[in-house]
Amino acid sequence: MLNYQNVISDIELAIERKRYELNNAAETYGVLSDYILGLSKELDELLNKLDREKQSVK
């Protein structure tokens, strides 16, 4: 059986890593670069995934 708490924790960790990557890259590439926009999209996808997982546990 899948442990939803572990799945959620893994997603939360991935979100924090992506936020760190995004913040660091913004200093190098600027906040409006295509690279930053791609990272932001990846972060949004992770946040949506977390929300879906939390909704499925309810």
The pLDDT assigned to 45 comes to 98
Q: Long-range contacts made by residues 2-8, C-beta under 8 angstroms, separation at least 24?
A: 4/53, 4/56, 4/57, 7/53, 8/50, 8/53, 8/54, 8/57
The pLDDT assigned to 2 comes to 62
Higher pLDDT, 1 or 44: 44
Contact 27, 21 (CB under 8 A): no
The pLDDT assigned to 7 comes to 86
pLDDT tens digits along 3-54 = 778 888 999 999 999 999 999 999 999 999 999 999 999 999 999 999 999 8
Task: Decide if pLDDT at 1 tops 70.
Answer: no
